[in-house]
Amino acid sequence: MSRPVALITGGGRGIGAATSKRLAEDGYDILLTYNTSSKPAEMVVNEIREAGYDALAVKVDCSNVGEVGLLGIHPWMARGIDALVLNHGSYERVAADKLTLESLKATMATNFEGAVAVWKAVQPYLTPNARMVVVGSQLGTRGSPHGADYAASKAALSVWARSLAQAVGPEGKRVNVLAPGYVDTAILAGDSAEKRAQREDEVPLKRVGSPEDMASTISFLIGKDSRYITGTILHVNGGLYLP
């Protein structure tokens, strides 16, 4: 019970899973959430425990106010939350000119409103010097012709996070945004070999990022070496997009 606690939403897969394991190595007990499938999340928990650390997975649909409310009364909250990583999200490829209000509302409910809801639920339990990382996207800055709702949700998330950083900075809390480019997660799982090669060729470093690349950056933003960084959007994309 002496280790600090890190809460990672969407912590069972992709960037979230890599972050859960990295922060466990960094000295945190891990409380991770999942929504649609418990097996990957439990596999992450087991891996962390086998390494000698502690972790727990809880089912939370971040777009569901009731489930987020239950997260807010989870017993681990009493220990205090030292690090919060808002990583959950959904992405459906819909052409910008075909976007419906229903699709936009659903995406915003999960990616943006869900993140704010988790923050509100956890806020009373954040320790005085808590660190928060919001996982945004390069698309939240540059836009996307085939994912306008996703891009809009990530843009809203990033501006909210930067606003929050200004509000809670005087309390000693820090809030930053990680904006990945191409990352080898479920979003790219449907790529053909040709599409993957095209993506790699677009990136100056000539490879798609790994979840571990993102996790190491999150580790930095939560760690002491970034103690004077807050309110920033850190683009981690191998040079793909240089705002």
Confidence of residue 95 (pLDDT cuts 50, 70, 90): confident
Q: Which domain holds residue 150?
A: 5-236
Starting at the edge strand found earlier in the chain, the sheet holding 174-180 runs 55-59, 29-34, 5-9, 81-86, 126-135, 174-180, 233-236
- pLDDT, residue 159, reads 98
- pLDDT, residue 124, reads 97
Q: State the CATH number of the domain containing residue 53.
A: 3.40.50.720
User: Is residue 243 domain-resident?
Assistant: no
Of the two residues 36 and 218, the one the predictor is more confident about is: 218
Give the DSSP per-residue string, 186-224: GGGTT--HHHHHHHHHHSTTSSPBPHHHHHHHHHHHHSG
Place of tokens 């599409």: 195
> Which residues contact residue 25 at a Cβ distance below 8 angstroms, ignoring those fewer than 6 apart?
51, 53
Percent of the chain with pLDDT over 90: 90
User: Tens digits of per-residue pLDDT, 147-187?
Assistant: 899 999 999 999 999 999 999 999 999 999 999 999 999 88
Domain count, the chain: 1
Give the DSSP per-residue string, 10-78: TTTSHHHHHHHHHHHHTT-EEEEEESS-HHHHHHHHHHHHHTT--EEEEE--TT-HHHHHHHTT-GGGG
- pLDDT, residue 188, reads 87
- pLDDT, residue 92, reads 80
Round the average pLDDT of the chain to a whole number and report it: 95
User: Is residue 241 domain-resident?
Assistant: no
Q: What angle do CA 49, 54, 57 make, to 5 degrees?
A: 90
pTM of the model: 0.95
Active site (annotated) includes residue 91: no
Q: Report the phi/psi class of residue 27: left, alpha or beta, with left for phi > 0 and alpha for psi in -120 to 50.
A: left
Q: What angle do CA 80, 111, 189 make, to 5 degrees?
A: 110
Q: Report the phi/psi class of residue 206: left, alpha or beta, with left for phi > 0 and alpha for psi in -120 to 50.
A: left
Of 53, 150, 228, 241, the catalytic one is: 150
CA pair distance 7, 32, nearest whole angstrom: 6
Confidence of residue 1 (pLDDT cuts 50, 70, 90): low
